[in-house]
Amino acid sequence: MALEDRITPSRENCDYTSCYCEENVWRLCELVRRERAAQLEDMFVVFISNEKRTVPLWRQMSGREGQPVVWDYHVVLLQTGCRSSSVVYDLDSELPFPCSLQLYAAEALRSDCGIIPAYHRKLRVVPAQSFLSNFASDRSHMKDSDGSWKMPPPPYPPIHTTENQMNLDDFISMRPAVGWGRVLSLDEFLQRHLGGASPSSPSSAALSLSP
């Protein structure tokens, strides 16, 4: 992509905490608002999940031997309006940063064909400005019953709004009547943003998911 289209010079310039993808993307959106505000209108936060919160993604840095990582949810940033194709910023992916949406769809999302329905992906697409204005997390979902952290939290304070301390579930939910943005199936998302270009289907050897 053209240098003037990039919202960050490199992956290393982004705030990152493992297992806090929603906050990593919030901080990335905040960086855009602070340094390149005019581009924020072309940014969309994409929550990937489903009703059972079991969604496979390939080419994740925590993956092993070509197998997908099955997340309860994952969050990436989509940038449209570029001189070439739309691009995805995924701080947990081993793909380029940013990565063209076409490549990300083919390598990371792939297809729901051949995957049992429990693992089919849905995507909640939220304008970045709306995400910055409404998202709140007290990080309680990352604590065990005894109050200990499942994974160390980011070094900065939790993100909240004047109205909310915690509404993460409203963003993860794939019920259209809940939360912000628009909920799409994987096919609908690709049709909207790639004009119907189909990613490859996962081979049986690369996908060992059971009901």
- Alpha-carbon span 130 to 136, nearest angstrom: 12
Tokens of 168: 């993460």
Residue with tokens 């065990």: 144
> String of b and e for 62-91 (b: at least 16 CB within 10 Å)?
ebeeeebbebebbbbbbbeebeeebbbbbb
Residues 6+ away with beta carbon under 8 Å from 79: 5, 7, 39, 42, 43, 44, 86, 87, 88, 89, 98
Catalytic residues: 21, 74, 90
Q: Using CA atoms, how far apart are residues 114 and 117, in angstroms rounded to an integer?
A: 9
